[in-house]
Amino acid sequence: DYRNEKYRPQFHFTPPANWMNDPNGMVYFEGEYHLFYQHHPHGTTWGPMHWGHAVSTDLIHWEHLPIAMKPDNNGAIFSGSIVVDWTNSSGLFSEEPGLVAIFTQADQYPDSDRPRQRQSIAYSSDRGRTWSMYENNPVLSNEEITDFRDPKVFWHEQSSHWVMVIAAGDRVQIYVSQDLKSWTCASEFGAKEGSHDGVWECPDLIELPIEGQEETRKWVMIVSIGDDPNLAEGSRTQYFVGQFDGKSFTNEASSDTVLWLDYGRDNYAGVTWSDIQGPNNEKYFIGWMSNWKYANQTPTSTWRSAMTLPRQLLLRDTSAGVRLVQHPVKELLELRRNDESLRWEGQTIHPGYNLLENVKADIYEIIAEFDPGTAEEFGFKLRLSDNEETIVGYRAADRLLFVDRCHSGEAAFHDAFPCSHEVPVELKEGRMKIQIFVDQSSIEIFVNDGETVISDQIFPDTASTGLELYVQGGESNVLSLALHPLKSIYA
């Protein structure tokens, strides 16, 4: 019973049982959003990778389907993507358009221990329910590069060809194809750009409009970087904004600029859904809500890991430059228990007073707008009890938003887990807007309409349901505050 398992997320995607990492093969086809995922079906730690599978019509409620792909004589099934082959460019289908999966197969070079990563394809003519391996797999190898994986494919209309972005050690390589079977290297990106604090993995390349000037579009290259044992942050995701001409991507920022997609510790290997036929070329993103630093040790029981909330990606022209913004998908509004929502307006908060003293909640959404006033620091203590709290605070003088999960609950399973981390956040016309989603084992924070995002796992006791709105060193104004208890997707 998913309702009662300790730490089981109630509105985030989790595998029914056993291990999960990266989201894979996300595609929209015939009214269904598909979510495949890196899966070890025989254990709660990473192992021989399969693709698990689920479908949804709203990105929130998921139907679990049988395992889609399992290791074969070309190796385990690592991360990859799926496209709709609308015109049967692959020749793999007879009439109707079908789905083609492009993914990494991982094994070892014969007579050596050296890992070998090659790209294979598989196809499905029954809406992703069953998959056939292409007979001439693998379709793309590169003996010089050991870490050669996670192909993400899309159709580039202007050039009339398929484009693959793929992680190749310390860079992304871009390949092009007419038929999804035969691939030619067109360019490389990134060996000297952005962060190289870990091996590059799971790239994505998407075109996005700038909010408010829909005719201006730019391209965004998303790149996850693996865990560096010497850095506390572990695995995380960066992005670049620039141009793409069908063959090469150019970064608009200086090469040493590093832009993080998420300032929490638990949003990794995320990419976007392909083939959404929305009027504005909508791009929805989901990430794996864990971190290679401690992913194998998190204190769940029958399953391990969840996905982040699905988010719509857009660009915003900010004073610092064009930046990615993330909006939790609007389907989440359906989860609000509107009859139980609590609202406040125009409240002054002062030290020693807790506006939320009598509130108890475990899974909920908060939307608030603050004027920091004279306070040195203010914020929320969530999933609170006598000995547990997750703090989301703002240090006004330093303009730093932080999450402190040191005492958030079970945290001792790994040295790197208990931590506080911060991100600079500027006020907008003297105000800060904050939206927070709290589930049984996570907290996701969207600041100033999605401009800054923090996603973190927490493992509080089920009885830690208190809330506090605190202020230190002065008084703050809560211009508005709404707390919406949320329904479980298993209700």
Contact letters for ligand FRU, residues 159-198 (x by CB under 6 A): ----------------------------------------
Could you give phi then psi for residue 298, rounded to 5 degrees? -60, 150
Minimum CB distance to ligand FRU, residue 218 (Å): 26
CA distance 198 to 34: 29
461 neighbors 385 (Cβ within 8 angstroms): yes
User: By three-state DSSP, how is residue 156 classified?
Assistant: strand
* Binder among 26, 49, 355, 368 for ligand FRU (CB under 6 A): 49
Could you give phi then psi for residue 330, rounded to 5 degrees? -70, -20
Give 70 or 127: the residue with its C-beta nearer to ligand FRU. 70
CA distance 228 to 222: 19
Give 153 or 471: the residue with its C-beta nearer to ligand FRU. 153
The CB-side HSE value for 254 (13 A sphere, CA atoms) comes to 3
Number of residues that bind ligand FRU (CB under 6 A): 12
Closest by CA position to 490, among listed 456, 439, 444, 446:
439
Contact letters for ligand FRU, residues 396-435 (x by CB under 6 A): ----------------------------------------
Give 149 or 395: the residue with its C-beta nearer to ligand FRU. 149
Give 147 or 317: the residue with its C-beta nearer to ligand FRU. 147
248 neighbors 176 (Cβ within 8 angstroms): no
Scan for tokens 């190749």, then name that residue. 168
* Binder among 78, 123, 273, 284 for ligand FRU (CB under 6 A): 78
* Binder among 10, 14, 79, 272 for ligand FRU (CB under 6 A): 79
Q: Tell me which residues in 90-149 interact with ligand FRU (CB under 6 A).
A: 104, 149
Minimum CB distance to ligand FRU, residue 201 (Å): 4
152 neighbors 175 (Cβ within 8 angstroms): no
432 neighbors 372 (Cβ within 8 angstroms): yes
Using rule CB under 6 A, residue 202 touches ligand FRU: yes
CA 165 to chain centre: 18
Give 152 or 383: the residue with its C-beta nearer to ligand FRU. 152
Give 265 or 327: the residue with its C-beta nearer to ligand FRU. 265
Minimum CB distance to ligand FRU, residue 224 (Å): 6
Q: Does the bond joining 372 to the residue before it have cis omega, within 30 degrees of 0?
A: no
User: By three-state DSSP, how is residue 296 classified?
Assistant: helix
Using rule CB under 6 A, residue 21 touches ligand FRU: yes
Which tokens hold the place of 303? Answer: 């399953």
CA distance 344 to 135: 62
The answer to whether 1 is a known catalytic residue is no
Which tokens hold the place of 449? Answer: 């309409």
Which tokens hold the place of 456? Answer: 């973190």
* Binder among 201, 365, 388, 439 for ligand FRU (CB under 6 A): 201
* Binder among 11, 137, 150, 155 for ligand FRU (CB under 6 A): 150
Catalytic choice (22, 85, 262, 266): 22
Give 150 or 444: the residue with its C-beta nearer to ligand FRU. 150
Could you give phi then psi for residue 338, rounded to 5 degrees? -60, -35
CA distance 60 to 53: 14
Contact letters for ligand FRU, residues 254-293 (x by CB under 6 A): ---------------x------------------------
Q: Which residues are known catalytic residues?
A: 22
List contacts with ligand FRU (CB under 6 A): 21-22, 38, 49, 78-79, 104, 149-150, 201-202, 269
